[in-house]
Chains A and B, each alone.
Chain A
């Protein structure tokens, strides 16, 4: 296992390098100039030229690239080209918001999706199954930002139960949880749709297996048949989809954070693109890449826990 882990970790280095290189050059291919974006159209040309020099944008591209890699190797994400603030510090401030949103959404998605999938699988081709399938299909088709606005209208405007916007105070439980509820529900419901469909289909396959029939024939209670025998075998694809969704949710958080005006990596990414803040943009992409790599690794490791036949 340790050898497997070491190999996987070693393989992340070329993955990271490829992504970093791609991000570095793609960011610079986007039309628009950070200095002009920062100073606005009223600024004098001398000021724009002076700022470009200070930002290091007049240096040859390869020098900027190696400087970026060298800083990163030292664990330094650099400073924002616009505010001059340390990007590590900015990330430290906003990352908890993205993490809590993603984890809560996974929690909601798995908590609702898996039981619904099992239930509809056990009651396949009944009215409830049809309703579940149509609802989950609708859930997959609704964009996160649209669902977010509908949820805001219902819970914040009509029912006035929860706040519509903002991230709340991380040090204040009530403020934090109330501000988290609606965005987590938005992302969680979208994930639920996907998890429900996959769980249903995995369970349908497993429930037809001989060993399930045997378990029933032995007289085992239905609950034991479903949860101990069938679900265990269906877990591998379910873990896969949850892993995939964990990575997707981080990307979906871009829209959700913007709609709910929550601080977070997604909103930081949007701001960096709008302001042409190359260093911030690169850093956020590095962190996103890191997340995807780690989530994939964890997913692979969990396989062997849920299915002992899988060994590394």
Chain B
């Protein structure tokens, strides 16, 4: 028995030692060129003579014992996201955070949000951001493409120069429901090739740059794909073998494990400083954290909790970045469900809620209060705290007023509501906090917790009297249209979407703002719409929740990180590892 134990211990030790050992030195056969002095007999004037002669080239074989040569290590950034697996790398279908992150590294657009700052546009594939012209009542944006932008090589098609054909093809693909999840954003828009390097985008109805530029920027449908490889491999194959023009190109995909991107040597802004990016799928936060702490990962998607940020920042060499864009949590009241059809009841709920109590669940700097439906911190058209304060629309905590309003509405003893919540903390914590706060004024809430996907389905089937929704939208028009336009009413709207309130009161303001070309007037219209929403308490803006990533301090993103629509710190050609 003892012998068996000793043998097993030895076997395990040998395995571990052999696995951890340095590379074994190798014996290699090497051919070398030397010069040798040889003696030979030659006949000089009929007499044999021995002469010494230098033979210049003699090959001999030499045995050299050498360690295995260590190749130059490629500089690879290892990033871990919370997703379980890849969804798609077709940018026009990329909706999950991990998919958005990946396509951000692979593709470009005509214009782009400045890396690390989602509030500024700059030219990307286009040489400059054009000034629109009005031609026959239509708005024309003429983009001149940079020369020499190369599509990544792929198994299907070798690398080739991107031209206007690719841009036209790509934007038309974005506008088609069968080939894009964002087709609705492109109605009333046509794209034409003028020449190989010029593209004309025509809007039937002129719109302001604030609304137009996101359509052709590096977000959702604005990404430009390369036409030839897409057509050669087909839509299905393209999902896992994307071909773009970005700083990194697709190398490999291991299901449930990782996607590897390698540097695009021909990138038009210069070769990336990283050789590759390993994008790993790790749904478990503890695993990501341990992977980072053990040095196997360089950057991880973190937890949106102030405590976590504080704890990780205390680790030696680890830095946590908290940045926008912040996804906004809003409480939507369903106006078709009594007693929420009474404005006094909705206002009573608003007065019974304390934003700071919700905020404490997430903790600074991860979250911050918002006071209007469009977050003023990130987008034009939002209302600041001072503005709502001045208008008397802050709905600061006032339990007495809440009780009085309920009594006026005939609900002095409160009432009961039942609703579903996602199991995700960003939702469930808010629902539970609301439940506890409203209990103080006699409103009893029963929460049925379901998985995230089920919640999305159920709230779109109009099951909830109150919906808490956490979302980012790229501009005020999208926020207001999709949450408050009558077309967007869940189930019954002309284009059912996320108007959970069934509200119909600001359609005219939304539509007027959409076609307003003067930015100041446009912002004013958006603000008017939100003042109406707050006055009638259609929804209660709660907080925005920032993005959180942790990294080793040797990772330099290459830009100042304020906000990123791609929902990750953005890995670009300037990102580097400084060890």
A47 near B457: Cβ-Cβ < 8 Å: no
B511 at the A interface (CB under 8 A)? no
A246 to chain B, nearest CB (A): 21
Interface string of B1-35 (1 = CB under 8 A from A): 10011001000000110111000000000000000
Question: 14 A-B contacts, Cβ less than 8 Å apart?
Answer: A32-B454, A43-B182, A45-B495, A48-B181, A115-B1, A165-B80, A165-B287, A166-B280, A166-B291, A260-B287, A263-B255, A274-B84, A274-B283, A275-B84
Q: Is the CB of A41 within 8 A of B5?
A: no
Evaluate contact between B178 and A50: CB separation under 8 angstroms.
Answer: yes
With an 8 A cutoff between CB atoms, is B537 at the interface?
no
Knowing A32-B457, A46-B184, A160-B294 are in contact, say whether A263-B254 is a contact too (CB < 8 A): yes
**Residues A41 and B457 in contact, CB atoms below 8 Å apart:** no
Q: Is the CB of A166 within 8 A of B296?
A: yes
Residue of B86, B183, B284, B498 with most partner-chain A CB within 10 A: B284
Partner of A83, one of B5, B239, B458, B497: B239
* B21 and chain A: residue at smallest CB distance: A174
- Determine the residue in chain B with the shortest Cβ distance to A155: B294
A259 to B288, CA, bound (A): 9
Docked Cα-Cα span, A5 to B290, in Å, equals 47
A14 contacts the other chain (CB 8 A): no
| B290 touching A32, Cβ below 8 Å | no
Q: Which of A44, A49, A164 contacts B290 (CB 8 A)?
A: A164
- Decide if B473 touches A33 in the complex (CB within 8 Å): no
Report the Cα distance A82→B95, complex, angstroms.
12
A174/B19 contact (C-beta < 8 A), A31-B458, A82-B87, A264-B256 known: yes
B240 and A45 form a contact (CB under 8 A): no
Q: Chain A contacts of B457 at CB under 8 A?
A: 31-33, 36
By a CB distance below 8 angstroms, the chain B residues around A258 are: 283-284, 287
In the complex, what residues of B have CB within 8 A of residue A44's CB? 177, 181-185, 495, 497
Q: Which B residues between 36 and 75 are near A, CB-CB below 8 angstroms?
A: none
- B15–A177 touching, CB < 8 Å: yes
B453 touches A261 (CB 8 A): no
Answer whether residue B282 sits at the interface, using C-beta atoms and an 8 A cutoff: yes
A216 at the interface (CB under 8 A from B): no
A165-B84 contact given A37-B453, A43-B181, A79-B236, CB 8 Å threshold: no
Set of chain B residues within 8 Å of A200, measured between Cβ atoms: none
Task: Give A54's nearest chain B residue, CB to CB.
Answer: B178
**A155 CB to closest chain B CB, in angstroms?**
9
State the Cβ distance, B320 to closest chain A Cβ, in Å: 18
Residues of B within 8 A of A177 (CB): 15, 19
Is there an interface contact between A263 and B256, defined as CB atoms closer than 8 Å?
A: yes
Residue B306 interfacial (CB < 8 Å): no
- Of the 9-residue stretches A265-273, A286-294, A299-307, which lies at the interface with chain B? A265-273
B456 touches A178 (CB 8 A): no
Chain B: interface size category: 35 or more
Per the bound structure, the CA–CA distance linking A271 and B86 in Å amounts to 9
Q: Which of B1, B237, B291, B471 makes the CB contact (< 8 A) with A164? A: B291
How far apart sit A157 and B181, CA to CA, in the bound complex (Å)? 43
**A residues within 8 A CB of B256?**
94, 263-264, 267-268, 271
Q: Which of A40, A84, A267 contacts B181 (CB 8 A)?
A: A40
CB contacts (< 8 Å) of A215 on chain B: these are none
B8 and A40 contacting across the interface, CB-CB below 8 Å = no
Chain A residues with CB below 8 A from B180, complex form: 47
Closest to A227 in B: B1
Q: Does B286 belong to the interface (CB within 8 Å)? A: yes
Closest 9 CB pairs of A and B: A40-B95, A44-B184, A32-B453, A84-B236, A31-B454, A271-B84, A43-B181, A271-B85, A46-B177
Report B315 CB to chain A, min CB distance, Å.
11
Nearest chain A residue, comparing its CB with the CB of B90:
A84
Say which residue of A30, A39, A49, A261 sits within 8 Å of B95 (CB atoms): A39
A-contact 0/1 string along B180-196, CB 8 Å cutoff: 11111100000000000
Contact B287 A270 (CB under 8 A): no
B132 within 8 A of A: no
Measured CA separation A51–B239 after assembly (Å): 14
Known: A165-B282, A258-B284, A268-B255. A38 touches B93 (CB 8 A): yes
Known: A44-B177, A149-B290. A93 touches B87 (CB 8 A): no
Q: Please report the C-alpha to C-alpha distance between residue A182 and residue B473 in the assembled complex, in whole angstroms.
A: 43
